[in-house]
Amino acid sequence: MKQICFVTGNKNKLQEIQQLLFSFKIISLHDLNFFDDIPETENTIEGNAFLKANFINNKFNIDCFSDDTGLFIDSLDGLPGVKSARFAGENSNSEENISLVLKSLENKKSRSATFKTVICLIINNRKHFFEGSIPGTITEQKSGEKGFGYDPIFIPFGYNKTFSEMTIEEKNLISHRSKAVQKLIKFLNSYEK
């Protein structure tokens, strides 16, 4: 089975991807004994995805992929966007980020938003990008115990529960990340032929 490194320190993301990418053996940063932060200094999620994949590809000479995800809220001019993980400050956590989003939306009529994931794959020293997105709405309060990040306040269009109220299997059928990963899988499966 071909090995590929998923460049993430996020155990939740790793678990989600491992459930989706079963035709490859996924190596984590932990498996490479790499525990440093790779600064996300680009001003787009595409740029950050490339930055992380390129860093690990150069350092370990291994095929790898990295993702970056943003929550883009229409009435906040696309914020938190590329700064989704650090919206409430450089060392902010999900709780603080969610609180700031809910506070920022207090007087806004529109609560529509889009979750977007971009994956950068570097294989045989060539880069490829895969994107997935899902529109939805931001709730007025948190709901659900599962998931991570902004999942407790995001309801995808056509559903009546947040990502945090869905099982990982339900979320994986529709999420922005799974859409990007499905494109990645399709590409990797055809790449081998």
pLDDT per residue as tens digits for the range 73-84: 999 999 999 999
CATH number of this structure's domain 3-191, picked from the four choices 3.40.50.9100, 3.90.1150.10, 3.60.10.10, 3.90.950.10: 3.90.950.10
Annotated catalytic residue, options 68, 74, 77, 151 = 68
Q: Write out the H or E segment, with its range, that includes residue 182.
A: helix 176-191
> Using an 8 Å Cβ cutoff, are 126 and 191 in contact?
no
Is 31 known to be catalytic? no
Is the overall model pTM greater than 0.75, yes or no?
Answer: yes
How much is the pLDDT for 94? 92
How much is the pLDDT for 192? 59
How far apart, in whole angstroms, are the C-alpha atoms of residue 191 and residue 193?
6
Q: How confident is the model at residue 24 (pLDDT cuts 50, 70, 90)?
A: confident
The domain ranges of the chain are 3-191
> Using an 8 Å Cβ cutoff, are 124 and 55 in contact?
no
How far apart, in whole angstroms, are the C-alpha atoms of residue 188 and residue 193?
9
> Using an 8 Å Cβ cutoff, are 137 and 114 in contact?
no
Residues 6 or more apart in contact with residue 39 via CB below 8 angstroms:
51
Output Rg (C-alpha) for the chain, integer angstroms: 17
| Chain-centroid distance, C-alpha 14 | 10
- Pairing outcome for strands 3-6 and 64-73: parallel
Least confident segment among 82-86, 162-166, 187-191: 187-191
Residues 6 or more apart in contact with residue 128 via CB below 8 angstroms:
120, 121, 122, 187
pLDDT at 193 over 60: no
